[in-house]
Structure 1
Amino acid sequence: MTEGKPTHSAAKRPTVNLALTGASGARYGLRLLQCLLAAGCRVHFMISKAAQVVVATETELSLPGSPDAMQAFLAERYGAEADQLLVFGREDWFAPPASGSGSRAPLVICPCSTGTLSALATGASNNLIERAGDVALKERRPLILVPREAPYSEIHLDNMLRLTRMGAVIMPASPGFYHHPESVADMVDFIVARILDHLDLPQDLMPRWGAERVSRKLAGPSKPPAD
């Protein structure tokens, strides 16, 4: 589920590491955070300084500067339970995502800046987000990267190829239009739904491709009109 109150007990909550970096597309990351919390996940949340600037530029939000204040703000905004959302600072090296001996959780970087792509492709670990990505790669944990840039340079493409070969999933923020979006929110949900699918979390943001066709087939042939 992506709406309503979380249904998981604290002991059974799936954990997802979520990071926002300084690419355009903050709404993707914030909507994903909302959906993860609504699905009952525990979220380890990380955000770069550049991402905080992007959030202030692209949305109506002005996030508090300290991790504790941001945690309280986001928990209240998205209706998180007390144990659901943990916000970690840029250099919190004792946070679970910073070590392979931490919780075995997938990492989503959404949006993912091209600078972060470069850092991950070259093994840099200059902050918690980069270290979390490095851990995900070395531990062979699910790593979903959502870049938002146009056009891509050869450097960007090479970094994405290198990361794909290492096991990461590159999911550019390129929404489709076959579902006839009527708003920016619909286009945001298209990408968020694909991320949730890759995390094996239920979602009802987007209908399944072919679902209508299957329903028609199961219903059988339509009857011809009566004379």
Structure 2
Amino acid sequence: MQFDATTINMLKEGTMQTIYMVFMSSLISYLIGIPLGIALMVTDKDGIRPVPLFNKVLGLAINLLRSVPFLILMIMVIPFTRLVVGKIIGPNAAVVPLIIAAAPYIGRMVESSLKEVDAGVVEAAQSMGASTWQIIWKVLLPEAKPSLLVGAAISITTILGYSAMAGAVGAGGLGDIAIRYGYHRYQTDMMLVTVALLVIIVQLIQEAFMRTSRKSDKRIR
């Protein structure tokens, strides 16, 4: 096919829809996922405030959500999506299942990053009488910042992949274009262009977060 003005405008719109879905779902997922990760780390049996029963129940709930394939999850939450945004197609509708899928994943990524913090640093803060919240905000999160940024790069690119899959159910974006034109109409060149645009977005995300992570890592200064 020829890439005329209409096709180029469609690709531009698809790219903007993809960026919108990824940005909104990543932002809200992190607002949920960071507290989840902190709760998992703090209440662990080796955490600063162990609550084994709460930790097990929360961990089980997160694992259950993470184990559901994204396409199935989108279908399962259709009634909830309709309740929240009033419709089940389009970028806004896709954000709801993206958040539900991504928040538990981010919670585990945050937990993993916080557990990498040297236990000696936490013990030193405790010996100086720091409260739990002071340890979280002034010790754990700052010390884990490089790892958190690397985790963010991985998480956001995962969300980008989910957003492309959401195109299969009319979510819009580059995934929708790839399926409608590249797959159903056998337009291989359109498929290749959408894949190339997705790769470019992934590379930009990875580069931005990895550079920020390296700059914030005290060990390589």
TM-score range, shorter chain: under 0.3
Higher helix share: 2
Higher strand share: 1
Higher relative contact order (CA 8 A, sep 6+): 2
Pair member with larger Rg: 2
For normalisation by structure 2, the TM-score amounts to 0.24
